[in-house]
Amino acid sequence: MAAAKALAHGWVEDRRALLSGWHRTIWDFAEPAWREYRSAAWFVERLRAEGFDVEAGSAGMPTAFAAKWSNGPGPTVAGYAEYDAVPGNCQAAATRRGARPGLSEFAPGHTDPHSALGIGALAGILATKHAMSVSGIAGTLKFFGEPAEKVQGSKLVHGLRGYYDGIDAIVSYHPFYMLPLCNTTRWDTHCGAYSSRVYSFICDQSETWAAAASDSPIAASHSAARAPGANVALFTMYSLTKATTESMLAHSGGWSLNEAILTAGQATADNLPAHIAQINYAWRTPEIRMADAVLAVLDRNAELAAAAGHCRLVKRWVSRTRPGVPNKVLAELTYRNLEAVGAPRYGAEAIALAQEIQRGLGLAPMAQPFLAACETLIEPRAAEAKLREQMPAWQTHWTSDDYVEMTWYAPTVRLYVARPVLAVPAGYGGYPAWVANALGGLAPCIDPTVEVAGKTIAGTLLDLLCQPDTLAAARAEFNERARGARFVAPLLPKDFEAPIDYRWPEYATTARGNDWWIPRAADLEASS
177 or 307, which is more confident? Answer: 307
Kindly report the pTM of this predicted structure. 0.95
Distance of alpha carbon 69 from alpha carbon 139, whole angstroms: 9
**181 in Cβ contact with 383 (< 8 Å):** yes
Distance of alpha carbon 395 from alpha carbon 388, whole angstroms: 9
Query: What is the Cα 114 distance to its own chain's centre?
Result: 7
Domain contains 138 = yes
Q: What residues are paired with 78 via a beta bridge?
A: 142, 170
> Which are the contacts of 483, defined by CB distance < 8 A and separation ≥ 6?
none
* Structural domain harbouring 290: 194-210+223-322
Same domain, 397 and 285: no
- Of 298, 322, 346, the residue at which a domain comes to its end is 322
SS3 490: coil
- Of 450, 470, 486, the residue at which a domain comes to its end is 486
At 187, the amino acid letter reads W
Query: In the prediction, which pLDDT does 522 show?
Result: 80
Dihedrals phi, psi of 210, to nearest 5 degrees:
-160, 160
For 115-164, the pLDDT digits (tens) are 999 999 999 999 999 999 999 999 999 999 999 999 999 999 999 999 99
Q: How far is CA 463 from CA 89, 100, 119, in A?
A: 38, 41, 21
Same domain, 154 and 260: no
Distance of alpha carbon 66 from alpha carbon 119, whole angstroms: 16
Dihedrals phi, psi of 83, to nearest 5 degrees:
-155, 15
Query: In the prediction, which pLDDT does 224 show?
Result: 62
Residue 320: enclosing H or E segment and its boundaries? strand 312-321
At 348, the amino acid letter reads A
Q: What is the mean pLDDT of the chain?
A: 93
Domain contains 496 = no
At 39, the amino acid letter reads S
Distance of alpha carbon 61 from alpha carbon 387, whole angstroms: 35
Distance of alpha carbon 498 from alpha carbon 506, whole angstroms: 17
At 405, the amino acid letter reads E
For 330-364, the pLDDT digits (tens) are 999 999 999 999 999 999 999 999 999 999 999 99
For 21-40, the pLDDT digits (tens) are 999 999 999 999 999 999 99
Residue 66: enclosing H or E segment and its boundaries? strand 65-70
Work out whether the CA dihedral 426, 430, 435, 440 comes out positive or negative. positive
Helices first, then strands: H and E counts in the chain? 14, 15
Domain contains 244 = yes
Q: How far is CA 377 from CA 113, 114, 176, in A?
A: 20, 21, 12
Same domain, 272 and 327: no
The domain tally of the chain equals 2
- Of 294, 322, 350, the residue at which a domain comes to its end is 322
Q: What residues are paired with 284 via a beta bridge?
A: 194, 256
208 secondary structure, DSSP code? G
Same domain, 294 and 351: no
**111 in Cβ contact with 437 (< 8 Å):** yes
Q: How far is CA 233 from CA 228, 316, 431, in A?
A: 8, 17, 38
Work out whether the CA dihedral 202, 205, 210, 213 comes out positive or negative. positive
Q: What residues are paired with 316 via a beta bridge?
A: 198
For 421-460, the pLDDT digits (tens) are 999 999 999 999 999 999 999 999 999 999 999 999 999 9
Distance of alpha carbon 178 from alpha carbon 184, whole angstroms: 11
497 or 216, which is more confident? Answer: 497
At 448, the amino acid letter reads P
**Residue 209 reports pLDDT greater than 80:** no
Distance of alpha carbon 168 from alpha carbon 412, whole angstroms: 9
Same domain, 421 and 462: yes
Same domain, 357 and 395: yes
Same domain, 205 and 165: no
Same domain, 203 and 263: yes
**84 in Cβ contact with 31 (< 8 Å):** yes
**474 in Cβ contact with 327 (< 8 Å):** yes
Distance of alpha carbon 61 from alpha carbon 16, whole angstroms: 31
Distance of alpha carbon 528 from alpha carbon 512, whole angstroms: 20
Same domain, 170 and 289: no
| Percent above pLDDT 90 for the chain | 84
Pairing of strands 412-418, 169-176: parallel
Under the banding of pLDDT at 50, 70 and 90, the label for residue 253 is confident
